[in-house]
Amino acid sequence: MAVEAVERPEDEVVLKIEGMTCASCVSRVEKALARVPGVADVSVNLASEEARLHRRPGSAAPAELVAAVEAAGYGAKPKQAVVPADEQIEATAAARRDWIVFGVSAMLTLPLLLPMAATAFGREWALPGLVQWVLATPVQFWAGARFYRHGWKAARAASGNMDLLVALGTSAAYGLSLYELLAHGGAVHLYFEASAAVITLVSLGRVLESRAKRSTTRALRALMALWPERARIERAGGEVEVAVAALRPGDILVIRPGERVAADGVVIDGTSAADEALVTGESLPVPKAPGDAVIGGSLNADGRLRVRVGAAGSDTTLAKIIALVEAAQASKAPVQRLVDRVSAVFVPVVLALSLATLIGWLVAGAGAEAAIIAAVSVLVIACPCALGLATPTAIMVSTGVAARAGVLVKDAAALEAANTIDAVIFDKTGTLTLGRPALEAVLPVAGDEEELLSLVGSAQQGSEHPIGRAVLDGASRRGVALLPLGDFHAVPGKGVDAVIGGRRILAGSRRFLLEHQVPLAALDALAAGPAAQGLGLVYAAEFGTVPRPLGVLAIGDRLRPGAAEAVAVLRRGGIAIALITGDAEPVARSVAAQLGIDDVRAGLLPADKAAEVARLRARGHRVAMVGDGINDAPALASADLGIALASGADVAAAASGMTLMRTEPMLVPAALDLAHRTVAKIRENLFWAFAYNVVGIPLAALGLLSPMVAGAAMAFSSVSVVANSLLLRRWRVG
């Protein structure tokens, strides 16, 4: 089972970047690195906070790359120098600091907003000007310090971003308020509440965004956690434990029941069954005997195996899966941050208009104070509060109602991607099906089904194998009584040999019964139908003086409730549907027929699943991948939108933009519907945010708006944006 490796040239360098906050930061880091001689193909990922590049051999030492990033105003270090545990500790501490800053800022801002609430009830009340200054100053220069730092970096690089907008707008409101306070003793309207509210609310949005970005590294950590730290190998006639990193091709691994396989290899002794769902998606354990291949990271079930290592370290199947996920996450996503793009133009335009207003009034013969008031009015009306709230408030409301419905959304990029989806790929095992073996049919050679199920079920009472549990569950559901179990012997990878009521019963694989010289013609005839449907088979016989075949039990995987309805709803919405699986073709076709899906791909490895995503994208589709297994992780990460089931592997959820907390396929169309509504709200919010500026800036420049009215308009724009976002609370599944 080979997985196509991701090409990793020796000249590839990965840097961890610190201090990025928006798309313009990404652009500046990319430009700084691209200017280093010998560097090419620079790609900076804001979510993972990594920069990937290629360099000519012998050029651009890591120290030069770090220096280039630092000269652009950011921090950098080679990824290999980053200890994951230390990184997690630092991230947790930074998040705690950000929440503390926001909490203190919110407590200081709330009293400044109370007079606005009183005005809404027809009461005129204001805090003394000195009190307003005392409350607003820590917010402006302590909580807002980050905006000044990053805004200055943007200005120094001759570009604009949200930090620069926040710094300019709040400084204008704060500076005008301080001027009025000093000049008139607070007898006129002040704008401290505007500057403090902007910093507080935009800070909240940034805290939530940072939390979403940190979650993107969980996928690789979860994958790496599959490797056992130690492996047991044969040395000089004995067994010794070594670090997995020390394994080499040709070593002989000794794998006990319940242990994970430490490397890819071939069984040279022993029989067992292995859970290989992480790679193949196979819902049933795979029998292992001498000559069979085993996959590193798979779980050995019930037998002792000796395995000759064929591939270790970065050459193993699991390591290549990790590389696929890492490459998919590092690639550029087609997500555009509209506010940051517009801000780069908006800031210099507003500055130019403000300066032009100042000069125009002075040339017209107005006094300096009137000119300054008009110029500041332009900056106040252009305050980016509504711009800063347009996206975060819609996301906060939508993610809240989504969580209530059982859908966890990682970030705004996932919602934006979901809005454009026109094709959905479903994994089969564990996604559209239950993902566990279940008894589907009992086919006796002679006699009735109940007798056969009673004998085989009774023989399985001593087994812990998933197939044995499926038989026992089937007997329980059908109300079949079990008989006392006598002698019992489990043969790993083959079946069970038990005595039931004085009769010796064999139940297991076809090969198991063939080894006991049981005539198989009648059993093969019964098995032909279930085998054509891709069902697993349990052969049963009574072993006596003359072995006698008893019958066949068919084991399969059932559809999840609501799977057919989810597919139908998506199709009615004009969305193309495909089904992919690592299972055999007959199994896939049987499930697809029940669901009405025509586009089916079976027998796929993780790299093949990612290739199916690429196939649909090449045809012009925007693709969502829905899966739950580790083997789905590369496809989930490379799709335009990954949707994982929380009942599956943690890595599947970590590699996805959305996670369904309930294993209900109907949540897939519901999540896409919410994304459509959320993106629509964001666009509406941005329209209103810009509309106030488009109308208000000319009025302010002409002196038709005082700073007080400009501040009120700015505040009302924020209220309208928040109120529009709150309409999303009415959304319900279906």
Which of 280, 315, 350 terminates a domain? The answer is 315
Task: Determine, yes or no, domain membership for 464.
Answer: yes
Instruction: List, for residues 363-391, the tens digit of each pLDDT value.
Output: 888 865 567 667 766 766 665 556 656 77
Strand partners, 439: 555
User: The whole model's pTM is what?
Assistant: 0.54
Q: How many residues does the chain have?
A: 734
Phi/psi of residue 284, each to 5°?
Answer: -105, 145
- The torsion angle over the Cα atoms of residues 127, 130, 135 and 141, rounded to 10 degrees, is 140
Residue 452 predicted with pLDDT over 70: yes
Which of 659, 676, 693 terminates a domain? The answer is 676
Asked if 426 and 447 sit in the same domain, the reply is no
Average pLDDT of span 263-269: 91
- 8 A C-beta contact, residue 671 and residue 410: no
CATH of the domain at 510: 3.40.1110.10
Full residue range of the structural domain in which residue 452 is found = 438-556
The predicted structure's pLDDT at residue 137: 92
427 is catalytic: yes
Q: How far apart are CA 382 and CA 197, in angstroms?
A: 15
Task: Determine, yes or no, domain membership for 399.
Answer: no
Asked if 446 and 413 sit in the same domain, the reply is no
Q: How far apart are CA 143 and CA 209, in angstroms?
A: 17
First vs last C-alpha separation in the chain: 42
Q: Worst-scoring range by mean pLDDT, 188-202, 217-231, 235-249, 597-611? A: 217-231
- 8 A C-beta contact, residue 107 and residue 138: no
Asked if 43 and 108 sit in the same domain, the reply is no
Task: Determine, yes or no, domain membership for 156.
Answer: yes
Q: How far apart are CA 208 and CA 733, in angstroms?
A: 24
Task: Determine, yes or no, domain membership for 639.
Answer: yes
Q: At what angle do helices 466-477 and 449-459 cross, to 10 degrees?
A: 140
| Burial classification of residue 661, based on how many CB atoms lie within 10 Å of its CB (0-12 exposed, 13-18 middle, 19 or more buried) | middle
Closest CA to 190 of 179, 177, 199, 178: 177
Asked if 169 and 310 sit in the same domain, the reply is no
pLDDT-derived band at 472, boundaries 50, 70, 90: very high
Instruction: List, for residues 163-220, the tens digit of each pLDDT value.
Output: 776 677 678 778 878 887 888 776 666 778 777 876 777 677 667 656 534 543 454 5
Name all contacts of 230-234 with Cβ < 8 Å and 24+ positions apart: 231/262, 231/263, 232/256, 234/306
Task: Determine, yes or no, domain membership for 724.
Answer: no
CATH of the domain at 37: 3.30.70.100
What is the helix (H) or strand (E) element at residue 659, kind and residue range? Answer: strand 658-660
The predicted structure's pLDDT at residue 714: 58
Closest CA to 664 of 564, 556, 578, 583: 564
Which one-letter amino acid corresponds to residue 77?
Answer: K
The predicted structure's pLDDT at residue 177: 80
- 8 A C-beta contact, residue 385 and residue 191: no
Q: At what angle do helices 23-34 and 338-363 cross, to 10 degrees?
A: 100
Average pLDDT of span 249-260: 89
Asked if 531 and 615 sit in the same domain, the reply is no
CATH of the domain at 270: 2.70.150.10
pLDDT-derived band at 415, boundaries 50, 70, 90: confident
Which of 521, 556, 591 terminates a domain? The answer is 556
User: What is the residue-averaged pLDDT of the chain?
Assistant: 79
The predicted structure's pLDDT at residue 88: 63
Closest CA to 153 of 43, 70, 78, 67: 70
Residue 335 predicted with pLDDT over 60: no
Residue 329 predicted with pLDDT over 50: no
CATH of the domain at 671: 3.40.50.1000
Closest CA to 678 of 693, 658, 696, 661: 658
Closest CA to 414 of 593, 211, 151, 675: 675
Task: Determine, yes or no, domain membership for 342.
Answer: no
Asked if 200 and 247 sit in the same domain, the reply is no
What is the helix (H) or strand (E) element at residue 51, kind and residue range? Answer: strand 50-55
- 8 A C-beta contact, residue 52 and residue 34: no
Greatest mean pLDDT among 76-90, 108-122, 649-663, 700-714 lies in 108-122
Asked if 107 and 49 sit in the same domain, the reply is no
Number of domains in the chain: 5
Q: How far apart are CA 404 and CA 266, in angstroms?
A: 48
> Cβ of 58: how many Cβ atoms within 10 Å?
8
Residue whose structure tokens are 């030492």: 61
Catalytic residue among 264, 302, 411, 427: 427
Q: How far apart are CA 324 and CA 632, in angstroms?
A: 11
Residue whose structure tokens are 């950590």: 221
Residue 728 predicted with pLDDT over 50: yes
Residue 453 predicted with pLDDT over 90: yes
Asked if 489 and 563 sit in the same domain, the reply is no
Strand extents, DSSP E, 557-670:
576-580, 599-601, 623-627, 641-645, 658-660
Asked if 245 and 161 sit in the same domain, the reply is no
Asked if 522 and 579 sit in the same domain, the reply is no
Asked if 123 and 187 sit in the same domain, the reply is yes
The predicted structure's pLDDT at residue 346: 66
Task: Determine, yes or no, domain membership for 6.
Answer: no
Asked if 579 and 487 sit in the same domain, the reply is no
In this structure, what token pair is assigned to residue 382? Answer: 């252009």
The predicted structure's pLDDT at residue 593: 84
Task: Determine, yes or no, domain membership for 426.
Answer: yes
Strands 641-645 and 495-500: unpaired
Q: Worst-scoring range by mean pLDDT, 341-345, 354-358, 599-603? A: 341-345
